Amino acid sequence: MQSVWITGASSGIGEACAYRYAEEGARLALTSSSADRLEKVAAKCRELGAEGVTVFSFDLTCPDGIDNLTDDVWIALGGIDIVMLNAGISQRTNIEDTSMEMVRKIMEINYFAPVAIAKRLLPKMAARGGGKIAVTTSIAGRFGFPLRCGYSSSKFALYGFFETLQAEYYSKGIRVTMVCPGRVQTNISRYALDKGGKPHGVMDPGQASGMTAGAAARVITRAVAKEKKEVLVGRKELLMVYIKRFFPGLCAILARKIKPM
């Protein structure tokens, strides 16, 4: 029986992964800032067969409480086999309209929170022989994308930190899977920060026609089980990752032509 902690578990990819692990009889800890929604997800996980489910409502923009949160989850689960650092927030503003306050909020949730959680967990995981860390990045973390300056920066940064973590702690049994979604049907565009820091409130057309969260969860949980270094999740939009790798000049041209919404 695995012990799994998922952040950003109240909707989208995090919710769908919670259901996948619940079906496998895992012991779950679910974290989100949306307490009501989190309780509903937890109830469904119990119905699906989770061995036990504990919820931890927490705002990841509050760095001072992350160490205590991590310790509390560890105690509740009796150790953590898999942590899915999935919580995140996006934006829909150009650089001039993106305040530094917005950039810092995005970085706090998308980068500093998962880094802080990982740093707190590492000695505990290593002491018990290892563990798996799944980190939700984005194809916007592989190439720059219009109206995503803060979001893209936070996702690029995750690669730098967690690839270093993998190199340093591989011999101690720590395995990292970088989860790189393209267009998946989640609420991330609805809650993306618009000008003035207000929720965008609209699901992007490309996202609405993207892979379902349930299908994405199947791909992701299999990749984590197989200890893959990275898993690309999506459809034809993932071609941009390969174009960037082999034809960076063409990628830059295409990025300029992409409709930003």
The pTM of this model reads: 0.95
| Confidence (pLDDT) at 200 | 84
Stretch 68-92: mean pLDDT: 97
Residues with catalytic roles: 151
Measure the CA–CA gap between 258 and 37, rounded to whole angstroms: 34
pLDDT of 78: 97
Q: Which domains does the chain have, with CATH numbers?
A: 3-257 (3.40.50.720)
Question: What value does the mean pLDDT of the chain take?
Answer: 94
Q: Which parts of 5-148 fold into alpha helices (H)?
A: 12-23, 35-48, 66-77, 100-107, 113-127
Residue that wins the pLDDT comparison between 138 and 259:
138
Q: Are the C-beta atoms of 215 and 168 separated by less than 8 Å?
A: no
Per-residue confidence (pLDDT) for residue 260, from 0 to 100? 57
pLDDT digits (tens, 9 = 90+) for 201-245: 887 887 888 899 999 999 999 999 999 999 999 999 999 999 989
Q: What are 94-150's pLDDT values in tens digits?
A: 999 999 999 999 999 999 999 999 999 999 999 999 999 999 999 999 988 899 999
At residue 110, the pLDDT reads: 98
Q: What is the pLDDT of residue 205?
A: 81
Beta-strand pair 52-57/174-181: unpaired
**Residue 168 has what pLDDT?**
97
Place of tokens 């984590």: 224
Q: Is the pLDDT of residue 255 over 90?
A: no
Q: What is the pLDDT of residue 261?
A: 52
**Please, are residues 105 and 89 in contact by the beta-carbon 8 Å criterion?**
yes
- Running DSSP on this structure, what letter comes out for residue 204? -
- Which helix (H) or strand (E) element contains residue 213? helix 213-225
Note the pLDDT of residue 145: 84
**What is the reported pLDDT for 82?**
98
